[in-house]
Amino acid sequence: MVTEVDIEQLKEILPEDLFTKIFPGGNLNVVDPTGKTAVHYLAFKGEQHLLEKIVAEGADVNKAANNGNTPLHYACQTGAISLIQYLLKNMNNPSATNSEGQTALQVALEYDATISAIILLKHPEFKEHLEDKDIYGRSALDIIAEYQLEDLFPSLNVDFAERPNYGKPLVDVSQSVINEKLRNYLSLHGRMSDELIDDNGACNGWSFLYQLYEDTGQEEIFYQLLEFIESWDGEIESLQKMEIPAPLKEKYRNAQEIFEQTINDLIVFHHDSIAVNELDLGYKQKWRQKQYELVKGKNDTRQLNSLLYFPMHYLNQKQLIEMFHYFSQKPGSFVDLGGAGHSVSVTVMPNEKFKYFDSNARGKIQVFNSAEELVKTIVNLKFRELNMIQPDGTFEVRMGVYQFSDKITLDEKSGFTPPPLHNSAMLFSPLHYAVLNKDQKQLNINLIENRKGINQNDAMGFSALTWAGCLNDVESIRYLVESGADINHADNFGETPLIQAIRCNHIEAVKKLIALGADINQKDNIGQTPLNHAAKNGCFEIVGLLSNLEGIKLDEPDNVGQTPLMNAVEKGYHRVVKKLIKKDINLEAEDNNKKTVFEHIDKASVKRMAPLLVKAVPNSKRTALFFNAVNNGDVDLINTLIKNGVSVDIKDGDGLTPLMYAAFYGNIEMTKALLAHTQEINAFVEVDGTTALIAAASAGKLEVVKLLLKAGADISLVNKQGKTAQEIAQDEGHDEIVTLLRSSKRPDHNIIPF
């Protein structure tokens, strides 16, 4: 029975959020955001006595965390021998694998827990799985060879020295490791590392960069490059001494070139880097094509062709498998797959085989022999481990499919046969597949045989016409509409073929749908029009096209009151904003929360956006942006706003000036910037008589008080209670400020008229 003492111990061991979920209710199988239960944490800590107690009370010893690790995996990391023996007796499947395809034995070997490994090898289940490989293609025997541990396992009778990986442990080249090395390199060279290499990762930069190497047969070069960067010790002197591997010498003269070129390529492809933001590019297909043109070599004659864009939607595992069965028609193509805040890349090989690149993986992942194997790994590594699977088993995913033009012809097929309708997890009809395959003959046959099914939905509510838009297939769009397809057919989210074509940034499809009569103002389920979608997706050309159409509603708010301009501002799409503010738009609009367009500015793009909006928006609406800059301590932005005509003496709704805010919070640099331009250093709040000096004195900001006095602040002014800054500082116990103010010259009290 779990006692009060046990509960106190659990409180010390478990994360606070997990502990409060368990008690006082007593459900011992609840999980934290990583999928771990109390059993996992106790196993990792080696707390066998407490673990046995909660198992006796109903805690599940077989449950796996989001990363697939069981309690046995965690116990093996720390080498808790007695606990390992207990788990082996009580678990249903002790040889279960985690998201990297590793058993507890492989984990024990990697963590140098050799005693744990010896115990596991005595268990019959682990003997049966000695040659089972993880996602990196390494079995337990391979790991023994990597770390040269053969002397500990003489009974295995294996010639470990003959294995190709003997003495060569897996080098961790996950982006968390490589990005840190690149940031360190930039910092040592006096450059803004956080702005160039995102702290949160650069996954879609890495996944696209991988494809440039893989497509030209340089996959091994790519991994050698990562291993070279990983091997740097972080000291600037070491860069000159690093030995460059022979394959890299053909392209690079020294280590510095390797680092510089990698950083350059990475920031061009990562959707949220400073370079991409400056160029107004992203991860949509037209932008990817532009990015490729920026980095490809002089002798590279390849063209990057977009085959299909699948905008963000929820799919389940079976549906994603069917999509990859469909993609298998195009060997030589690759899939840029995003969702759950992470991007990965899949290369389509002949015979329905796939290569998978995940920048979070520690090394090169082995080839998958089927769509089923591939998707199982994607779901485990990408969605389950990141806790992004919904209760109904779906996850949010987007896919862009590409092909380099000199690989194979774009019309080449691989003999793929669509599944029967009743077996289609995507609920694709023959007409859907005819459109997806750009098969005009089958399109004709299906329309002749079943014209009534022309608007049939798939699992997402997409009609054949919607898919034609996602493919940018102008001819199929024309043929379907002329054959009776509903041009304004709404999917499960109320999005029309026009909206989906906009989300894909396919301007040719958009033009054709509009020419054929698509409703340019039809809203989806959350009240967003085609122009909202174009603005929030940064589709500059499409925004230009739509905003010039007769009858377009430029200011139409969605269900939360946001206009297309607010959408573009919030996402930081500079060129879209510039295009929209040239139109007859209501620049003073407020959303349902009374927020103006200024309050939707993303902090990362505020310096570029502010000058545009300051010039366009009436003076009365500039206040929000100015105070946002003050509160964030952004002196550069303040100077930008001042240069564009914003007064530093404006007041917010409470009557406070920016100088009062800066003074109260003790922001030295902000105070200096404001004092250089203020005309009203002694401005006061009508309600209580607070001045900037009184605010600084009250908050104990000595250095700010010094600045204000030097700039001529009047120390004799009193607040509504008749107290000066000195008297208020004395009440608050700020003795240094009291002394400073007492020693300053001061005239008789100036009573502020209330």
Query: Domain 310-403 carries which CATH code?
Result: 3.90.70
Q: What's domain 647-753's architecture?
A: Alpha Horseshoe (1.25)
CA angle, corner 700, sides to 698 and 706, nearest 5? Answer: 105
The tens digit of pLDDT for each residue in 157-172 reads 999 999 999 999 999 9
Measured CA to CA, the distance from residue 199 to residue 602 in angstroms comes to: 17
Instruction: List the structure tokens of 493.
Output: 């989210």
Q: Give yes or no on whether 310-403 and 647-753 have one common fold.
A: no
Contact in structure between 479 and 491 (CB atoms under 8 Å)? no
Measured CA to CA, the distance from residue 634 to residue 630 in angstroms comes to: 6
Measured CA to CA, the distance from residue 268 to residue 699 in angstroms comes to: 46
**Positions of the chain with pLDDT lower than 70, given as ranges:** 192-196, 199-200, 271-287, 291, 294-299, 406-422, 602-607, 610-611, 613-632, 644-645, 653, 745-754
Q: Concatenate the DSSP letters of all residues of 545-604 into one string.
A: HHHTSTT--TT---TTS--HHHHHHHHT-HHHHHHHTTSS--TT---TT---GGGG--GG
- At residue 257, the 3 state secondary structure works out as helix
- Residue from 92, 144, 98, 139 nearest 118 by CA: 144
Q: Say what the pTM is.
A: 0.79
Enumerate the domain spans of the chain. Answer: 4-155, 176-294, 310-403, 647-753
What φ, ψ does residue 333 adopt, rounded to 5°? -90, 170
- Residue from 541, 504, 495, 475 nearest 307 by CA: 504
* Beta-strand pair 395-404/342-349: unpaired
Contact in structure between 596 and 565 (CB atoms under 8 Å)? no
The tens digit of pLDDT for each residue in 638-675 reads 777 777 667 788 787 678 888 998 999 999 998 998 99
What φ, ψ does residue 357 adopt, rounded to 5°? -120, 125
pLDDT of residue 596: 78
pLDDT of residue 413: 47
Within 13 A of 724's CA, how many CA atoms are on the CB side? Answer: 17
Neighbours of 27 (CB within 10 A): 12
pLDDT of residue 749: 42
The fold adopted by the segment(s) 4-155 is 1.25.40
What φ, ψ does residue 309 adopt, rounded to 5°? -125, 125
Measured CA to CA, the distance from residue 459 to residue 323 in angstroms comes to: 12
